[in-house]
Structure 1
């Protein structure tokens, strides 16, 4: 895709997000959206087959932005799987913070955080591919009998991301410091499970969640 095409596609997504927030609802039709935002309908269909496709592409663009930022970090590719996952999560939520109003609207529109949400389908596919790569890297140093199935553990990683999204969605702490703690503890727990030494981390993470639940009730 040329730079011109990328700019046009991004402009449509930006207009879509602004339209949604200004009216507190998604556009009801492509015709109405294009008319109100002064976009050419033919150009819209050049990049998107429907309004739902725009919604999915917004989330996909968040992922693309994260990976673009991470790939610029000199040591990212040579870091451990654990450090790469931590870097992804921290950068992911920094990107979401720039669009928090839209993200909160998008998440509030979903009936279930961990259901088959069409908006997050592309993000799920991309993130699970990333998680699979981390798992396969971790398996390289393990004997075959103790290796973990990438398909199963990448799905677990997706569930973890959904949990963190919900946590961040509800977080009212200054600078979202509680989300940072949740990221660190959940990743530590996940990799302790991955290394078959989960007990202390599970207890620690459980205490953290209990404290947050009790404090907010």
Structure 2
């Protein structure tokens, strides 16, 4: 039988969908690792990105930092962390979080920087504090691009979370790693297909969220600018 027919047989085998090694459990583990890694990365990237985007301070350092982190091989980093911290959940989560920081950080500070300086200057002229400008002007206008940065970061983590199986932990990477160990190519292909399908579904969800954020950005800004009685010319610039 061909590998495609064998893979189809793997998918239709009820044994692969039940128990502690079934697809639902492995999928839940994979999503759990992804959520932990993205959450850890957000603790660092979100406040730092908002600060850099709002103040434009430290931008050059951030660019160098994100470029350097992108160049780190995930598997090599994971191996180093395992040797340093031992086998367990922490090494893969930290490695995935480091992978997630660059696109998330870059997406946030570049999104905030994209907001028109004229709008920000007008907000300051009306007496708004820096925190009010950030939360009521910059964030609503930058939200579509911020969601886009989060979308990129989450997809990278989902695609790379299979490395958790090297530790070894669970997740969809178990099908790939275990399949390679025993030359079970249908299991390897099935695991790869599930990861790709998961990434595709998550991408569609984020695309919808980004479209919604785009549709809400201008009305949100218009409401706030009306409340602050901004200059009409500035209002036209915010809402073409």
Flag the structure with larger Rg.
2
Query: Which structure has the higher relative contact order (CA within 8 Å, separation 6+)?
Result: 2
The alignment's TM-score, normalised by the length of structure 2, stands at 0.29
